Amino acid sequence: MAIEALALCNSNLYPTIHSLLSILCTMPVSVATAERSFSTLRRLKTWMRSKMNEERLTGLALINIHRDIELDIEDIITRFGRKKCRKMTFVL
């Protein structure tokens, strides 16, 4: 959009606007992935700090950050069902 405006802007009539549009066209596009990941991790850590280990926390953060990835729920359920029991029984 800024490139089209720069092409239409007359540099003789509007030199300042032309300069600003040139700067706008050369500015790098920022990606909010890092900010999104830090805010997600902060929310997850405060909510579940005492309830999970680092590996599970990282997994949940990655799922939340990369929401656009399609997940095969049947495959996830199958993998979870094949894992051994994680609870330990204590004998006194």
Pairwise CA distance, residues 54 & 41, whole Å: 11
pLDDT digits (tens, 9 = 90+) for 13-60: 888 888 888 877 776 666 566 666 667 667 666 655 556 666 777 777
| Structural domain includes residue 91 | no
One domain for residues 22 and 40: no
CA distances from 27 to 20, 23, 35, 41, 86 (A): 11, 6, 19, 29, 51
Does residue 17 sit in the same domain as residue 40? Answer: no
Number of domain units in the chain:
2
Q: Are residues 25 and 37 in the same domain?
A: no
Q: Is residue 47 within a helix (H) or strand (E), and if so which, with residue range? A: helix 33-48
| pLDDT score of 25 | 77
Residue 88 in tokens: 């330990």
pLDDT digits (tens, 9 = 90+) for 79-89: 888 887 766 67
Domain region containing 64: 33-69
Query: Has residue 1 been placed in a domain?
Result: yes
Are 24 and 9 a contacting pair, CB within 8 Å? no
